[in-house]
Structure 1
Amino acid sequence: MTAPGPLLLGLDVGTYSSKGVLVTPDGDIVAQHVVAHEMSMPAAGHVEQDADAVWWADTQSLIRSLLQDVDPARVAGVACSAIGPTLLALDAEGRPLRPGILYGVDTRAGRQIDALNAELGEDAIFRHSQMALTSQAVGPKIRWLREHEPGVWARTRTLTTASSYLVYRLTGRHVMDHHTGAHFMPLYEPRTQQWSDTYRRSVLGDRDLDLLPELAWSDEKAGEVSAEASRLTGLRPGTPVAVGTVDALAEAISVGATGPGDLMLMYGSTTFFVLVQPSPTPDPRVWSVGGAFPGQVNLAAGMGTTGSLTRWLVDEFAREVPTEQAYDALFTEAADLPPGADGLLMLPYFSGERTPINDPQARGVIAGLRLSHTRAHLFRAALEGVGFGIRHNLETFADLGAQIRRVVAVGGGTKGRHWLQIVSDITGVAQEMTRVTLGASYGDAFLAGRAAGLLAHEDLQTWMKPQAPVLPDAQRKAAYDRLYPLYRELYTATRPVVHQLPA
């Protein structure tokens, strides 16, 4: 039994697992729990998850597990984050009509992107949305749904996202945070921070904007736990629930990356970047979106396949041992190899690529293979390929004048620090870390405290407990400086061939 006092509940649904945590208002962890799940790939470029069987089922399981030895009356607030931006269509009863369509790893809407650009003009869309249409944008996926599944579209009464669906199941209210709303482009207008009718017909046809949830900030109160949600989860009715957000933004909060110039670098199933800015610096290669708190803006970016790539390698080359042991073995084997993996170079575009090339047709490429190469070489080449991709994104931020004061790393890929060292050596950038590396669920707990009225923004810094940073090695950086131009050239050289390969 824990010491008496209020507790804050943070819940995060990720690509391959969901995590929950109970935290005191001082940031001390009382309990945590993890539930594993999978994602579905029913067709080439289609990546989905079932909203009830995965998102909501995991949420219920996490809550019940965390409340086993805790009086529900002690839970002062709840906040959820989830993979996003996703697209979920609900009927008039609030029930999912089909599996949720995932974020930028789902590349099904390429033709809809082309059609919207042709109809509306790329420059006009960029001026309106402060972003270019990419596989991360939800608007083209809504149009895909309207064109390809007319029966589902006819029954659709709400278009939402994963974190907002969890809030709906807990409170009965449809509400979405501004960070996620910006990715529902071109239906969101950053200047007014409201849904916009300007391009509604091109996306929604003859339907109205009332299909979309109410907009609010991540730390605002969305509502209270309903009687039905209480019955299903064990939470006390009336418990405050925060608006919440996508997992990446909650990850940034979890490590205190909330001040101007703070860059969160998330090592998850994908790699995500969130830079807090005093004012926006829009660029078609990356994403300019709202922040977690009122008045904040973020410059964001995301790669398509990073942790998912290491998971694929583990599944294919070390399936004879448990997953965690396999990861440990491959990281150890790869750490003994020199920079460049003995002549192996990999493009980590196994699910297309998001920023900065924004090419949904990109593919993974492994160059330089010899019979002497082992699974350790492939694993190290994957880690380095992701590192080169991170460098490409950081250079893009620098190109458009974004100021980075510090880089804070978070996510499952930070375990053991091997990957972080490779990335720091490739980029020449130091990476800070905090001792609590739970990730998004820990950030959600802070949002829960905000929604419950227990915490102020400045209280977040008292939660942070820094550990020694990861510093670049000059000698290894010199080796990577010689390889980085080859990485960039490999994409340019193979792009024409890859784009002609069958899906």
Structure 2
Amino acid sequence: MDELLLGIDMGTGSSKGVLSTPDGRIVATAARSHAMSLPRPGWAEVDAEAVWWNDVTSLARELVGRSSGARIAGVCVSGVGPCLVLCTADVQPVRPAILYGIDTRATAEIEGLTDRFGADEVLRRCGKALSSQAVGPKLLWARRNEPASWQRTARWYSSSSFITARLSGEYVLDHLTASQCDPMYDIHARDWNREWADEVAGGLPLPQLAWSGEVVGKVTGRAAAETGLAEGTPVSAGTVDAWAEAFSAGVREPGDLMVMYGSTAFFVGLLTEPRADPVLWTTAGVEPGTYTLAAGMATSGSLTGWLQELVGGVAYEQLVEEASQVPPGSEGLMMLPYFAGERTPHFDSRARGVVAGLSLRHGRGHLFRAAYEGIAFGTRQILELLDDDGPPARLIAVGGGTQSPLWTQIVSDVSGREQAIPKETIGASYGDALLAGIGVGLLEPGTNWSRISHTVTPDDSTRDVYDSLYETYLELYPATRPHVHQLAQLQEQTLPS
């Protein structure tokens, strides 16, 4: 075992690391749990120093210690995104990181920038409409609302590029993440739209662009002392966690589509050419010259976690067992899973969760199954939007939620789709290790470590009940939206200052 590859991913609820051999064999794994902060309705933040950097240094030290003296040939880091980390010139955060689309604070800036540049022109140049997933409006929000922090800001990062900078000292952003910094990146030119970027970023320098696996620097002496990595270890650019996970799962050809069962739900499919879509996200891909089409729900596993806490921390396995005893349709109980607003397809920061049909005879098993079914209905809605270019040839399910056979079965039953489950479910950190190996030249660019374990197939006996309830699901959001918006506004008004 002469050389190893290190991949680290910073997810919404935890950070994970993996040491792998160049042929994809896993030598060691490690994880650190953490939490995001929700200081106000619509806000989602993380202390980049105390959470992300501490997680990375801790994981790196542990895994280097378990390397049996083998050389770490390369390191690559992914993270939730796209995020906004405002930093001083020496890469010290000036405020907590503003998270991806679940942070919806920049509503006014989204509207203002859309008016400023024109909705059609934004869609044409960026491949998607401005939404809470875009970094540009959040940069503008920070300029307008936090002048003291802005005055200290010299550079801006996403989660992975912040870590790359701390490891190597380089100010670099991968193309995929940059293509979600709308309206600052031109999807067709695969470069910064400098006119718009200079206006939005208020004169802050733009990071150099690189592809996700590309080696952009080496571990500095200071970073080596903190991480245990050898000084001079090559560092790849990294990327957003969902795309690193798709890469790890073998989403490498047009027609492949990843469904990620995480704290949020995410969808990534490969495109041959960029496609402009007002409710989906066209991005640059992980590999040079590629494109992807993506979508995301604001809550998924975080909703089941909330329910588990709500019922007193009952073991997850117990809740799943109780939910499995409830028939399809949860005996007339339906849940809209918009507990943190919603991204695709509504892009509604004031959407809220709705539990419809609740009666005194329903128990926690009904609620838990209704949550699974609500997420599944949302998944079906997104899959149908992604079908515009034809249904995907292969749907690959990844993420921690795939460890729940009930959840994956419900999604297949509701959507009518087969799902291939990879044998290796470590996730984005495994994709990071693969990217590191490609970046340093140990592996050919087309190397694919993914192997399929089994396939989940729809149960045809549930089709009629779920098709009927899906129509109700589609009607429930517009029917309740005015009332839910009123309640969301009340939540905002009653927030302590």
Q: Which of 77, 80, 92 lines up with 1:80 in the alignment?
A: 77
Tell me the alpha carbon deviations over residues 254-278 of structure 1, each in whole angstroms, 9 at most, x when there is no partner. 1111111100110001000000011
Distance change >3 Å, CA 72–CA 158, structure 1 → 2: farther
Q: Distance in 1 between matches of 2:170 and 2:317?
A: 43
The 8 Å contact of residues 124 and 276 in structure 2, kept in 1 or not, is answered as no
1:405 alignment counterpart: 393
Segment drifting more, 51-60 vs 464-473:
464-473
Q: Which of 83, 102, 120 lines up with 1:105 in the alignment?
A: 102
2:269 alignment counterpart: 275
SS at match of 2:194: coil
Q: Which of 322, 326, 346 lines up with 1:333 in the alignment?
A: 322
Matched, 1:43 2:32: no
Tell me the alpha carbon deviations over residues 380-427 of structure 1, each in whole angstroms, 9 at most, x when there is no partner. 1110000000000011112x3255110000001000321110000000
Q: Distance in 2 between matches of 1:282 and 1:98?
A: 34
Return the offset for 1:116.
1.4
SS at match of 1:198: helix
Q: Which of 183, 202, 209 lines up with 2:180 in the alignment?
A: 183
SS at match of 1:458: coil
2:495 alignment counterpart: none
What code does the residue aligned with 1:330 have? L
The 8 Å contact of residues 72 and 234 in structure 1, kept in 2 or not, is answered as no
The 8 Å contact of residues 219 and 244 in structure 1, kept in 2 or not, is answered as yes
What code does the residue aligned with 1:407 have? L
What code does the residue aligned with 2:475 have? E
Q: Which segments of 5 or more consecutive residues in structure 1 lack a partner in the other structure?
A: none
2:260 alignment counterpart: 266
What code does the residue aligned with 1:447 have? L
1:289 alignment counterpart: 283
Q: Distance in 1 between matches of 2:390 and 2:98?
A: 31
**Equivalenced residues, count:** 489
Q: Distance in 2 between matches of 1:318 and 1:394?
A: 34
Segment drifting more, 115-124 vs 424-433:
115-124
SS at match of 2:38: strand
2:459 alignment counterpart: 473
SS at match of 2:39: strand
Q: Which of 398, 405, 415 lines up with 2:403 in the alignment?
A: 415
1:164 alignment counterpart: 161
How many percent identity over aligned positions?
50
Q: Which segments of 5 or more consecutive residues in structure 2 lack a partner in the other structure?
A: 493-497
Q: Distance in 2 between matches of 1:244 and 1:402?
A: 30
SS at match of 2:138: helix
SS at match of 1:281: coil
Matched, 1:378 2:364: no
Tell me the alpha carbon deviations over residues 332-387 of structure 1, each in whole angstroms, 9 at most, x when there is no partner. 11111111111100000011100111111111100000001111111111100000
Q: Distance in 1 between matches of 2:390 and 2:343?
A: 19
What code does the residue aligned with 1:244 have? G
Segment drifting more, 102-111 vs 402-411:
402-411
What code does the residue aligned with 1:472 have? P
Return the offset for 1:467.
1.3
2:228 alignment counterpart: 234
The 8 Å contact of residues 28 and 66 in structure 2, kept in 1 or not, is answered as no
What code does the residue aligned with 1:346 have? M
What code does the residue aligned with 1:378 have? L
What code does the residue aligned with 2:201 have? L
Distance change >3 Å, CA 73–CA 169, structure 1 → 2: farther
SS at match of 2:283: strand
Q: Distance in 2 between matches of 1:238 and 1:178?
A: 24
Q: Distance in 1 between matches of 2:84 and 2:285?
A: 20
1:491 alignment counterpart: 477
Return the offset for 1:457.
2.5
The 8 Å contact of residues 431 and 470 in structure 1, kept in 2 or not, is answered as yes
Q: Distance in 1 between matches of 2:49 and 2:267?
A: 29
Q: Distance in 2 between matches of 1:279 and 1:341?
A: 42
User: TM-score normalised to the size of structure 1?
Assistant: 0.95
Greater than 6 Å deviation, 4+ residue runs:
none
Matched, 1:433 2:421: yes
Q: Distance in 2 between matches of 1:56 and 1:436?
A: 26
Return the offset for 1:241.
1.1
Q: Distance in 2 between matches of 1:465 and 1:289?
A: 26
The 8 Å contact of residues 116 and 202 in structure 1, kept in 2 or not, is answered as no
Q: Distance in 1 between matches of 2:428 and 2:405?
A: 19
Matched, 1:121 2:121: no
